[in-house]
Structure 1
Amino acid sequence: MSQELVHIDIRTYLQAELVRRCKANPRYSLRAMADFLNLESSALSKILNGKRAVTATMFEKLATKLALAPDEIEAFGSQIEEPRGRSRLRPPKKAAFNYQKIADDHYLIFSDWYHFAILELLAVEGFEPKPNWIARTLGLSLAETKAAIERLTRNGFIEVHQSGRWVDATGSVTNIESRTPSSAARKLQLQLFTKALHAIEHIPIEERDHTGMTMAVDSKLLPEAKRRVAKFRRELCDFLESSSRKDSVYQMSIALFPLSKRSKTTSRRKS
C-alpha cells in the first residue's frame, strides 16, 4: 500500500493522515482537513470517533480526495455494504484478527514518546480522562492525542472501567528497549533527546537537571558501565515513584557515547 503502515479501515487511515498533517504543520487542524475533504468538521469528527458510518458514496469521494492506491480502495471498499438499502462502513469482524494492525500499533506505541507519557499521566493527581486535557498537558495536537488513546486502549495498555476511570494495564514499564524494533527505538531516542534540547531552552533550571562529564576511558569497561547505568536508572525511578503524591510526568534519558574517533591502530592494540 502507499502508506508506510497498513491501516485496518478508512477511519484509522483518516486518523493517521490527520496526525501526519498536524506533525508537518502544527497549525493544521481537523477543520482544515474537513475543508480539504469537502466535509463538515462535525461530520469528520464523528467519523474519526466511530460515531458516524462512512457511506459508499462518501467513500468514493474520500478515495478520490486522498488519492488512495488501488489496493487501499479494494481493502477499505470491501468493508462497505448496503444493509436494508443503506450503505455504510462495516466494522471488521472480530474473528478476522488483524496481526498486521497489531504490529503497526506496537511500532507506533514504542516509537512515539507520548504513548508512555499518556500512561504515566494516569498516575498524576488531577488527571482528567479527556483528550483535550491530555493534549493540553503534554503539548500535543488533539488529533495525535485521540489516535494515541484509541491505540493504547485497543491494544490493552489502557483499561476503561465502567465508572469511567482509566487504568494503566501495563504495570511498571521502565525500559522497553528489549521488545522494541531497532528502528522504533532509534526514533524514540531521537524524539526524547529533541525534547531534552527543548527543555534546556524553555524549562527553568529548578525543574530540570542537565549535566554532563567528559572523560578519558578504557572502552573495554563499557559493558560494565552500561550495567551500572541501568542499575542507577532503576534505583532513581524507584525513588521518584515512591511518593504517593505525583504531580508531573518526567523523562530521564542518559547518554554515554564517544566524542573521539578511534584509529584502526588503536583498536588493534586494545583488542
Structure 2
Amino acid sequence: MKSVIEYEDYRLFMNDYYEWKKRTSAFSWREFTKKGGFTSPNYMKLVCEGKSGLSKTGIERAADAMDLIGAEREYFRQLVKFGQSKRDADKKAAYSEMKEIASAHKVRVLEGESVSFYESWKYPVLRELAPMMPGAKPFDIAKACGNAFSAEEIRNALAFLTRAKFLKKTANDTYEQVERSLQMSVAAMPTLVREMHKEMADFAKDAIEKYPVEERNFTGITMGIDDEDYAEILKELEACRKRIISIATAKKGGNRVYRLNMQLFPLTDKVQNIKTSQKK
C-alpha cells in the first residue's frame, strides 16, 4: 500500500486503502465506516464513490480509520481540501501545502550503486547522526558511535553519503538529509537486507546488557497462529511501521540514533508437516 503522500485524489487513496485491507482480511465497508465512527454503515463507500464528502470532523475520523498520523495525516487533510474546495485560491493553497509536505517527506528508492548504503550499519547510522552534530569532526562522530569506526572510516563514509546524495553538506562539517525516508528496490533486497538484519540482531542482543531498561525496550510474544493470522499480523506490523516512520520524520533533529527491529519468525515447523508417532 502506497503512502498517502503519493496521491493527489483522496477518494482514490481511501478506496485503495479499503482494497488493500480487504485483500488479506474480511474487511468490509461497514467495518471501515465503523472504525471512523460514522453512523451510516456505507458512508465511507459513498465518499469513495463521490456521492458524499468529508466535513472537517469527517476528515479527522477518516484519518483515524486509516491510522494516519504526523505528516501523513496533515497531507490527508490538505488532500481532502484540494479535492473538495470550490474556490481556485483554496485549491491552490491546499496543493501548495501538499507539495511542501511531499517534498519534506519524500521516499527515495535505492537502486544501482546506491544500495551499497546497506552494506554496513555505519551508513544508515551516520545518515541520522551527522545532521544531529553540526560542526562535529570525524573523531567526535566516531566517539559517538562508541569508537566502532576510526575517524578515517567516518570521513570516508561521510564522503560517500554526500557523493551518493544521502546527505548534503551545508557548511564545514555540517550536514542535512536530502530525503527523510529511504526504501530499497525489491531486486536488491534479498542479499543486502539479510546481512543488515543479521548485523542489527547482534546489536539488539548486545543492547540488553549495554543499556539500562529506561533507554531500551524489549518485549516478545510466543503464540500459536495459522497462515491467515500471520497475514493479518503482517498488515498490522506494516501499519505500525508506517506510523512510527511518520513520527520519526515529522520534525527535524534529535539527540540519539535508535534502531527498531520488527521480528516475527517461526519457532517450530507447521504441525501438519510433522508425523506424530503413535504407540502400538
Give the TM-score taking structure 2 as reference length: 0.51
Confirm or deny: 8 A CA contact 1:129 1:166 kept in the other structure: no
Rounded to whole Å, the distance in 2 between the matches of 1:244 and 1:162 is 17
1:177 Cα deviation from its structure 2 partner: 6.5
Whole-Å separation in 2 of the counterparts to 1:138 and 1:154: 22
- 1:226 & 1:249 partners in 2: Cα distance? 25
Aligned in 2, Cα 1:160/1:193: closer, same or farther, shift over 3 Å?
A: same
The one of 125, 128, 133 equivalent to 2:140 is 133
- Give the match for residue 119 of structure 1: 127
Distance 1:249 1:221 in 2: 33
Partner of 2:224: 216
Q: Does 1:201 align with 2:216?
A: no
Cα pair 2:142 2:149 within 8 Å, conserved: yes
Alpha-carbon distance between aligned partners in 2 of 1:235 and 1:172, rounded to the nearest angstrom: 13
CA contact (8 A) 2:127 2:177 kept: yes
Query: How far 1:115 moved relative to its partner?
Result: 0.7
Q: Distance in 2 between matches of 1:189 and 1:155?
A: 22
- Indicate whether 1:153 and 2:162 are aligned: yes
Q: Tell me if structure 1 keeps the 8 A contact 2:130–2:141.
A: no
Residue by residue over 1:17-56, the C-alpha shift from the partner in whole angstroms, topping out at 9 and shown as x without a partner, is xxxxxxxxxxxxxxxxxxxxxxxxxxxxxxxxxxxxxxxx
- Residues 132, 163 of structure 1: alpha-carbon distance in 2 compared, 3 angstrom cutoff: closer
TM superposition shift of 1:264: 5.5
Aligned residue for 2:236, secondary structure, equals helix
Percentage of pairs with the same residue: 23
Residue of structure 2 equivalent to 1:246: 254
Q: Equivalents in 2 of 1:157, 1:128: separation in Å?
A: 18
Alignment check: 8 A CA contact 1:122 1:168 kept: no
Correspondence 1:51-70 to 2 at 5 A:
none
Number of equivalent positions: 163
Q: CA deviation at 1:204?
A: 0.6
| C-alpha separation in 1, matches of 2:135 and 2:235 | 38
Are the equivalent residues in 1 in contact too, given 2:131–2:174 (CA < 8 A)? no
- After TM superposition, the structure 1 = structure 2 runs for residues 254-265 of structure 1, keeping only pairs within 5 Å, are 254-263=262-271, 265=273
1:49-84 residue CA offsets vs partner (Å, 9 max, x unmatched): xxxxxxxxxxxxxxxxxxxxxxxxxxxxxxxxxxxx
Judge conservation of contact 1:110–1:180 (CA < 8 Å) in 2: no
Tell me the amino acid that sits aligned with residue 261 of structure 2: S
Quote the residue 1:108 is aligned against: 116
**Separation of aligned partners in 2, 1:242 and 1:176:** 21
Structure 2 residue runs without a partner (length 5+): 1-110, 276-280
Give the deviation of 1:245 after TM superposition: 5.8
Hey, what's the Cα distance between the residues in 1 that align with 2:131 and 2:171?
A: 18
Quick one: distance in 2 between partners of 1:244 and 1:160?
16
TM-score (norm 1): 0.53
SS of structure 2 residue aligned to 1:108: helix
SS of the aligned residue for 2:232 comes to helix
CA distance in 2, matches of 1:243, 1:170: 13
Question: How big is the alpha-carbon RMSD for the aligned residues of Structure 1 and Structure 2?
Answer: 2.7
Q: List gaps (5 residues or longer) in structure 1.
A: 1-101
Partner of 1:168: 177
**Whole-Å separation in 1 of the counterparts to 2:216 and 2:158:** 27
Contact persistence 2:134–2:175 (CA under 8 A): no
1:238 maps to a residue whose letter is: S
Distance 1:149 1:168 in 2: 12
Q: Give the match for residue 40 of structure 1.
A: none
